[in-house]
Structure formats: C-alpha cells, structure tokens
Amino acid sequence: MSDRRSAFIPQEIIRAKRDGATLGDGDIATFVGGIGAGTVTEAQVAAFCMAVFFRGMTMDERVALTRAMTASGRTLSWRDLDLPGPVLDKHSTGGVGDTVSLMLAPMVAAAGGFVPMISGRGLGHTGGTLDKLESIPGYDATPAHDLFRRTVREVGCAIIGQTADLAPADKVIYGVRDVTATVESVPLITASILSKKLAAGLDGLVMDVKTGSGAFMPDFAGSRDLAESIAAVAGGAGLPTVALVTPMDQPLGPAAGNALEVRIAIEHLAGGHRVSRLHGVTLALGAELLVLGKLAPDLDTALGKLERVLANGRAAEIFQRMVAALGGPHDLMEHPDKHLPRAPLVRPVATLHAGTVLSIDTRRIGMAVVALGGGRTRSSDPVDHAVGLTGLVALGDSLEAGQPLALTHGRDEATMAAAAAMITGAFTLGEGGAAIGALVQARITG
C-alpha cells in the first residue's frame, strides 16, 4: 500500500488494514503521530487495533509500528554520560512469584553493565515489579529524570516506572486494547513492549517470554510466536535482542505478593536459600545480557561472572545502593523486617489428600493473591503490599494429608478463606512423577 501522508484520512488506513493490505511506513507513522496530535480518535485507534488483531502485520509493519510508537515521545540517550559499559535491560511477559528483575538488575550492574530498567505494575493474576518495589518505604518508582540518570550512572542500575513522556502513544493504544478485547495480538504486544525499550536507549535486551498455566500466553506455540516476533522486530529496529521462552507452569519462587517477594530477592542476593528454578532463570537471562553487552565472550563465562558477584556480595551492595538512591532505607538488606510491611494474619492451607504435586494452576495462585488484596483487576485498584503467599509447594513435591500447600498472609478471615479455596483448587495431587520442563524451552535471537 502506498503512503498517504499527503492527504491523511485515518479511516482509509483502517480500511486498508481491515481488507488485508500491507501498510507503508509513512501510513503507520502518520496514524501513530495522529494519536498525540489529536487527529486520530480513540474510536479509530480501537478500529485499527481490531483490524490488526484479525489481519495481523508483516515484520516490516511491526518494525514501523514500533518505531512510530517510540518516536511519539522522549527517547533516552546515555552517550553524554560516557558510561564505561553497555546499557542493558530485561523484560518479562509476566508471571507469579517472579522476582527476577530485583536480582538481575544489580547482578548485571555488578558485572559491568548499566541497567535503566523501566518496569510495570501488576494487572490480573501477574505481579508487577513496581508494586514490589513500592512495598519498600520511601522508594520512588517515578523519580525525576535527572535522578534516574544519576542513579544509573553512579549505582549501575535503577528500576523505575514508565514516565508520561516515554512512548506516550503506547499508553493510549494499550488502554484501548485493554477494553476492546485486542490485548492478545502478537504485533501489538510486540510494538508495546519494544517501543518503551527502544525509547530507553539500550545496547541490548533479553526477553523472558513465559509459557504455561501462569503465563499471559499459556500455550508454547503462542509463546514461541511472540518470542520470535519480539526478537525479529527488535533486530529490525536496531536493538540486539535474545528472547528466551521459560516455563510458568508453577510459581517461579516460593512466595507471591509484593513485600514477600522483596524478602525473597533480599535473601537470594544475600546468599540465603536460593530456589533452583528462580536462580536458574535469573542466571540464564543475565548471562545472555552479559554476552549481548560484550561483558563476557560466551554464556559459560557469563554464568561464572554472575555467580561471583553473588558470592562476593557485590550484587547485594548495588541493590542496597539503588534502594537508598531512590529514597528507600539505607539498611534494607541488613534489616528487611524493620522496613517491609507484614500482614497481621498468617494461616496454612492444608491439603486434604496425600500425594505428589502433579500440576499447578498458576493463574489461580496469582488470583489468590488478588483476592487477598495484593493485586488488581483494574489499573486504578489499590494494592496491599503486605499480603500474599509463602511456602508454596512445587511440582514434584510429595505431601502427606494435612501438610500445607502454602501459607496465606492477609488482613481478614473472609479474604483469606477466599484465597484458601483458590489455592486448594490450584493443586492436583496424585501418584507418580510430575512433568517438569527445562528452565529454557526455546532461545531466539534477533
């Protein structure tokens, strides 16, 4: 389709995509530009999204859409800071008990990278990195631009939320998708994720695309399709990217809930008990970043560097410095219980039957956290940072009747009873062994 910039008529672009045409770069750029200029209405955005949902987009169209959404606002540059290392980041499609970002950012920084991680809040059954960090008293998840840059330069990493001027077209498009049943479009998901990452001025990106019962896309084929789209579009837009497909057929860690997951991250960084699946996914993603950023020649060397910065305490030190630089307490690592909120009630949820954990409805586990008040079903919902679940059993665990599946942390008996019912229904116990997949189920490069 030829570009229509000379006489911009939004409905003609919508019509063309509705009828299956391939849009030109100029068509896409003008349409996205019209969102901010006010020449494209929300109704037209909705129609465009529905047309893309049914007709799809070529890789060239996806690259053009991503670039246009990136160009709709501020793009960050780090060159003036003369950083002595690459600018790297990681993004996940979301899950339950996934505290990877809280460990990964300081680990990569300790290994020589600089990580300006722009994260999101939880919605539905998935937990949000920003909600976890905001359980830390004083932590400013939306700092002034200068403070953000200074923290990245001086500490090595800063985990913050999306600012209003970063890919603003994405906010409009996503808001429309959320209420028009067009969220599950791979081209639109790809552009939404990558427009923000391109605007962050990165030298390398690793994507963690989840698959399984707790994933946004539960089937492997859909997850792989999304991973391939993200890797290809990122490469086409000039951002070196590796996408890993990792399992979310059980909570990634033993806890789900904001402050409770921060405690897991602190324990992990400080050298306490490390859950193998959480540790393994964190190392796999971090190693890819070190190789992308030329901080290690190969994955084995990168894994060794990451293990060393954990063992020598350097990653823990950087996490503490990041928290303090962004307004949090200076002794969080040493005294987490002094600062992190706690729920007043803790109750076990016992299994009625003995057996091996054969499967877990991970989405239901996430919704149990929402029932306790620790998540949201609408973006405007408040979040109780103290509530959640700990002691979650894993696939393959053998239990006797009466043993706990998890501990609920809540504020009242009614919400805890609702969460307990969800937890009981989420676990299938029986005889035999559980099918436990590999920590990395696919690897795609851009």
3-state SS assignment for residue 355: strand
Per the DSSP assignment, residues forming a β-bridge with 118 are: 160
Whether 159 and 102 have beta carbons less than 8 Å apart is answered as: yes
Question: Would you mind telling me the total number of residues written for the chain in this entry?
Answer: 446
Whether 188 and 173 have beta carbons less than 8 Å apart is answered as: yes
Catalytic residue among 91, 132, 171, 210: 91
Q: Is 241 a catalytic residue?
A: no
Catalytic residue among 70, 92, 119, 229: 92
CA-to-CA distance for 386 and 132, rounded, in angstroms? Answer: 10
Q: Which residue, among 93, 45, 62, 64, has the nearest Cα to 187 in the 3D structure?
A: 62
| Number of other CB atoms surrounding residue 400 within 10 Å | 10
Q: Is 224 a catalytic residue?
A: no
Q: What is the CA radius of gyration of the chain?
A: 22
Whether 441 and 211 have beta carbons less than 8 Å apart is answered as: yes
Place of tokens 């990165």: 202
Catalytic residue among 197, 224, 339, 364: 197
Q: Is 6 a catalytic residue?
A: no
Q: Which residue, among 134, 97, 432, has the nearest Cα to 277 in the 3D structure?
A: 97
CA-to-CA distance for 22 and 398, rounded, in angstroms? Answer: 54
Edge-to-edge strand list for the sheet holding 427-430: 398-399, 355-360, 427-430
Catalytic residue among 66, 70, 192, 223: 192
CA-to-CA distance for 349 and 417, rounded, in angstroms? Answer: 9
Phi, psi of 399 (to 5 degrees): -125, 150
Residue 59 tokens read as 């890789």
- DSSP characters for 169-187? HHHHHHHHHHTTT-TT-HH
Catalytic residue among 4, 121, 196, 321: 196
Catalytic residue among 177, 268, 314, 321: 177
Q: Is 210 a catalytic residue?
A: no
Catalytic residue among 70, 93, 126, 129: 129
Whether 76 and 200 have beta carbons less than 8 Å apart is answered as: yes
Whether 323 and 315 have beta carbons less than 8 Å apart is answered as: no
Q: Is 171 a catalytic residue?
A: no
242: left (phi over 0), alpha (psi -120 to 50) or beta: beta
Catalytic residue among 27, 66, 89, 125: 89
Phi, psi of 445 (to 5 degrees): -110, 150
CA 254 to chain centre: 18
CA-to-CA distance for 377 and 392, rounded, in angstroms? Answer: 23
112: left (phi over 0), alpha (psi -120 to 50) or beta: left
Q: Is 177 a catalytic residue?
A: yes
Q: Is 129 a catalytic residue?
A: yes
Catalytic residue among 17, 62, 67, 90: 90
**Which residues, at least 6 apart from 67, have a Cβ–Cβ distance to it below 8 Å?**
25, 29, 198, 237
Give the active site residues. 89-92, 129, 177, 192, 196-197
